[in-house]
Amino acid sequence: MTTVARSAVRPAAPAAPTGDVLYAVHPGPLGDLVLAGPEPGVLASITVPDQRHATGVQPHWRREDTAFTEAARQLDAYFAGELREFSLTLSTPTSEFRRRVWEALDTIPYGTTVTYGELARRAGLPAASVRAVGGAVGRNPLTVVRPCHRVMGANGSLTGYAGGLDRKRFLLHLEGVLL
């Protein structure tokens, strides 16, 4: 299993998209985060308000505010500048292509950035797949924990963050990449 933000990740059974899903809402500096997963402590998604490609809370989901207390604790510590590596159980079933891209995201250390081209290389993909890699990054269901905010344009510009460029700028500033 790969690491998340260079952290220990424990595998979990895939979440059934139409089955039981638990969720909790956790306030933070990016807005109210929605944490969701198939069972307590097993995260399938973390989203921010108005995030592109986010599923959003569905009618069959059940709110359980204590379901993801460890994730909320770690997120709070990260936002306070006290945590650089997450250690959470994740369940994000996806295609083989996205899995490779997301595993490559997990290798980007705190406080550093890579380009989409470098991310493609880390995922073992050809340079010509950069646009598809960008699409996979944009579909990352675990904002902050899986550090898609650490991916930059080829010229170092802030591009392509599903949560919005202001949030990307905030996260990179928090990690000391931007002053």
Catalytic residues: 148
DSSP string computed for 7-28: S-EEE-PPPPTTS--EEEEE--
Beta partners for residue 92, in sequence order: none
What is the DSSP-derived secondary structure letter of residue 71? H
What's the token pair of residue 25? 């809402």
3-state secondary structure of 62: strand
Place of tokens 């359980």: 64
